[in-house]
Amino acid sequence: MRTSNWLVMAVLLGGCATAGPSTESLEATAASIRSAEELGAPRVPKASLHLQLAKEQSQHAKQLNDKGDGEEARRLVKRADADAELAVALARGSKEQARANRAMEKVNTMDTEAP
């Protein structure tokens, strides 16, 4: 009877372990980080900050997952993905702002050249 109690306890404790982030979520975060880099986030100060945070959180999540802290690893992957997506949005916004500024300069130049 005591052996079965230990067996039940081992099964219950094993069931308490939380799974780490899924392969899909890790890949999605890596893809968001690559997108941010390709859109020029490293050259946009605010985007660069969030890109760096995403990279650090992703790396830390992998380390935590390897150590068996799946719950914290999943949480960090979610944060990393959010920071990477924010870096993407900020990089895109910066490009759009630059395009708008060029258009405005063109309009202003045309206004000053008009008779």
Residue-wise pLDDT tens digits, 58-100: 999 999 999 999 999 999 999 999 999 999 999 999 888 888 8
What are the domain boundaries of the chain? Answer: 21-113
Between these two residues, 35 and 18, which has the higher pLDDT value?
Answer: 35
Q: What pTM, to 2 d.p., does this model score?
A: 0.73
Q: What is the pLDDT of residue 76?
A: 96
Which of 1.20.1270, 2.60.60, 3.30.460, 1.10.3470 is the CATH number of 21-113?
Answer: 1.20.1270
For every residue of 76-113, DSSP letters joined together read HHHHHHHHHHHHHHHHHHHHHHHHHHHHHHHHHHHHHH
